[in-house]
Structure 1
C-alpha cells in the first residue's frame, strides 16, 4: 500500500506498434481471444490490458517509452478523462517517430511547464542524432505541482539508444548537465525515468548515480539515487521481479535496464523525499499474453 499523501510514480517501456498499419478503432464491446498469440502480439491486442495495468496499480504519473502516435491516442482514450499527457515524436518534434510521453492524473498533479530536448550535440534541433546512436533520442522534461502537498517537482523521461555505447554515456552526461541548469536549489526535486538500455554495472548508470552503489563510501552531490535501493521503511526491499526487460521469448536474456532515479540532494542531503516502496510488476499473466517486452517499474514517493 502507498501512503495517504504519497505519489505513485512509474516507468514502462510499452513496446512500439511494430506490426504497423495503425490500430483498429477501439470498440467497448470487443472481445479478443488472447490465448492464440504466442510471442509478440499486435498492439491492438495488448493495449487494453496494458492500460488496465496502469489503472489497477493506481499510478499517479508514469513515463512511457517506445510510444507511437496511435498508441498515445489509444492510451488517452483507455485511461480516461482523468489522464493527460505531454510529449512529441522524436523524428520531427511533432508526431513522427517514437514518443517518450509522460502521462499523469490531472486530479493529482498539475502541469506547469514542459519541453523536449534531443540527446545530441544539438539538443534543441528536432530529429538530431547524437554521437554513435542509430536513431534520434529525446527527453521529455516537465515541471509539475503535486495538488496534495503543493510541492513542485521536475520529471525527465527518456529512452537511451540501444546501439550506441558512446551515445548512452554522452546522454547521461547531457541529462546531468541539464539537471544542474534547471535545479535552482538543493530542495528542488527531479525524478528521472527511463529505459537506459544499460545495466547497473555499465557506465551510463554509474555516471548518473556517481558509482554510489559500488563504492559505498563515495559521497556524491547533484547526481541521482536509484529508488530501488533507497526504500526508507525498516527491513524493506524491492517487491517483485529484479529484471525489467524480458523480451517476448524465453530464449531472450532478461536484464534490468529500466529505472526510477531521484536527485540525491532531496533524498540524502535535505531528506525532503522518502521512497516508501519500489517494485517491478508482471508483464504476463495466466493467458500468457505479454503486454510488453518490459515490465512496469513502480515506486511510492513521500514529499515532506
Structure 2
C-alpha cells in the first residue's frame, strides 16, 4: 500500500504588494509562518505548467490514497478528469464551501465507507469558522473511512494547519487529536493523519502530536525538508507529515519524497509530495 500527502500549491494569482502588506499588518502581534511570502505568481511553476506533471507522478506511483492540500475548485475538476480511477472527497473551507480545500483521492479498488469534513474552530460544524487568533483563512479536516482490498478498515484524516499563527496551529492540532480520540472510542480502528502542518517537528505547537496517547507515530521523521519554495535552500523546512497507528507502523517499509523537476526548473509543487509505503499482511 502507498499513502501520499501532497500540498499541490494553489493556483495563485498575482496581487498588489500593498494589499498583501496591509493584510499582514492586520494580523495579531507575534504571528509568523515558515512559508508566507508575497504571491507574485509562480512563473515556470505556475499551475498550468505543473498540472500535467502532477497527474503523471500520481499515475506512475498509483497510491491507494492521496491527501491533497490547497486544491481550488478548478484544480479539483482537472484532477478528477485526468485521474478517473480515483474518487475525490472534500469541500472548500469558506462559508459557501468554496475556496481552498484538503481533498482525499481514493483509488477505485479501495472502498469508501464514510466521509465527513469539519472546521478547525470552536464551532467545527459552522462553515467558514476559525479560531479567535488565526489568519483570515479558515481551516478544515477531511475524514474518510476506508476498506483496503485486503479487508483492512481504517480512518484517514487530511488537514492543513494555519500558515500564520502558531496558536491556531496548536489549537487545531489539539482539536484534531481530540476528534480522533473520540472517533476511536466510538469505533476503534487503525488511523492515519496527514497533511501540511506549517510547523517543524521540534516546534512548540507540535507538542500535542509528539505527546499523543493514540499510538500515532511519525512515518516521515527521516525525510528532511518537505517545503522547498521551488528549490530555494533558504526556504527549506519540514512541515508535511504522515502519522499512523498500528498496523501501519509495523508494516511501514519506506518513506520517500517526490523530488522530480524538469530541465526548465518546474517542480510538482513548492512542497515535495511525501509517500509512505507499507507491506500489510
- Size of the aligned set, in residue pairs, is 254
Aligned counterparts of 1:93 and 1:73: Cα–Cα separation in 2:
18
RMSD, aligned CA: 2.2
Range 178-187 or range 249-258, more displaced? 178-187
Give the drift of 1:82.
1.2
2:219 maps to 227
Give the drift of 1:291.
2.3
1:159-174 matched pairs, under 5 angstroms = 159-174=160-175
Aligned counterparts of 1:38 and 1:141: Cα–Cα separation in 2:
31
The answer to whether the aligner puts 1:124 opposite 2:118 as a matched pair is: no
Contact 1:132–1:165 (Cα < 8 Å) also in 2: no
Q: Secondary structure at the match of 2:251?
A: strand
2:19 maps to none
2:276 maps to 299
Any stretches of 5+ residues in structure 2 without a counterpart? Answer: 15-40
Per the alignment, do residues 144 and 186 of structure 1 end up closer, same or farther by CA in structure 2, a change over 3 Å counting? Answer: closer
Aligned counterparts of 2:205 and 2:157: Cα–Cα separation in 1:
16
1:223-274 Cα shifts (integer Å, max 9, x gaps): 5210135xxxxxxxx5xx62110113626421110000013xx25xxx8852
Give the drift of 1:52.
0.7
Aligned counterparts of 1:118 and 1:174: Cα–Cα separation in 2:
10
Give the drift of 1:46.
1.0
1:135-166 Cα shifts (integer Å, max 9, x gaps): 1000001100112x111000000000011111
Per the alignment, do residues 136 and 83 of structure 1 end up closer, same or farther by CA in structure 2, a change over 3 Å counting? Answer: same
Aligned counterparts of 2:47 and 2:261: Cα–Cα separation in 1:
15
Aligned counterparts of 1:124 and 1:38: Cα–Cα separation in 2:
34
The answer to whether the aligner puts 1:259 opposite 2:241 as a matched pair is: yes
1:83 maps to 86
Aligned counterparts of 2:156 and 2:11: Cα–Cα separation in 1:
25
Contact 1:278–1:299 (Cα < 8 Å) also in 2: yes
Q: What TM-score does the superposition give when structure 1 sets the normalisation length?
A: 0.78
Q: What TM-score does the superposition give when structure 2 sets the normalisation length?
A: 0.84
Give the drift of 1:283.
4.6
2:24 maps to none
Q: Secondary structure at the match of 2:75?
A: helix
The structure where helix makes up a greater share of residues is 2
The answer to whether the aligner puts 1:9 opposite 2:3 as a matched pair is: yes
Aligned counterparts of 2:187 and 2:236: Cα–Cα separation in 1:
36
Per the alignment, do residues 10 and 121 of structure 1 end up closer, same or farther by CA in structure 2, a change over 3 Å counting? Answer: same
Aligned counterparts of 2:224 and 2:249: Cα–Cα separation in 1:
27
1:29-71 Cα shifts (integer Å, max 9, x gaps): xxxxxxxx98553212111001111111221111000000000
Contact 1:155–1:192 (Cα < 8 Å) also in 2: yes
1:264-298 Cα shifts (integer Å, max 9, x gaps): xx25xxx8852111111205233311221000100
Give the drift of 1:182.
0.5
Aligned counterparts of 1:179 and 1:55: Cα–Cα separation in 2:
30
Aligned counterparts of 2:277 and 2:186: Cα–Cα separation in 1:
23
1:139 maps to 141
